[in-house]
Structure 1
Amino acid sequence: MVGSSLSDTEKQTANTRLKIGFVLLVAASMTLMALQVDPTPLQLAAVFGIGIGIGALLLWFVLRNLREYRTTLKNR
């Protein structure tokens, strides 16, 4: 059987990049939506900051549920 071609360090780096990308995607999406109402630069910065917080919360929620789902599958 063929194993993974990535080392543990490379897997950790890839996972970290995916997490950061997910959070930035949520923040950028919120910022682009805010552009529709002609905000000031300060308001845009605030929306981006709030988007980072919401993205981090969504990431935590998804990872927590994924962890619970995996343990449910292992117990079968």
Structure 2
Amino acid sequence: MVGPPSTEEKRDSMNRLKISIVVIVGLSAGLITVSGGGSLVQVALAIVAGSLVGAALLGYLVHIT
């Protein structure tokens, strides 16, 4: 039988989820820039800026829970 997940497994899963949130927000900003006809530099800047916003969002969400 499979037992409940250990504390380490739960922590690892939460870390993967947090990283995924930041990556998804960053890539979303890049895709929006691509759809708007942005240059490669603009897309890269949008991904960086989106990742920073995603990290801030994640920090807020962790703070309120």
TM norm structure 2: 0.87
**5+ unaligned residues in a row in structure 2: which ranges?**
none
- Match in the other structure for 2:51: 52
Paired positions, count: 63
Q: Which moved more, 1:30-39 or 1:13-22?
A: 30-39
Letter matched to residue 28 of structure 1: L
Task: Give yes or no for the alignment of 1:20 onto 2:9.
Answer: no
Larger radius of gyration: 1
Letter matched to residue 44 of structure 1: V
* Structure 1 runs (4+) greater than 3 angstroms displaced: none
Identity of aligned residues (%): 29
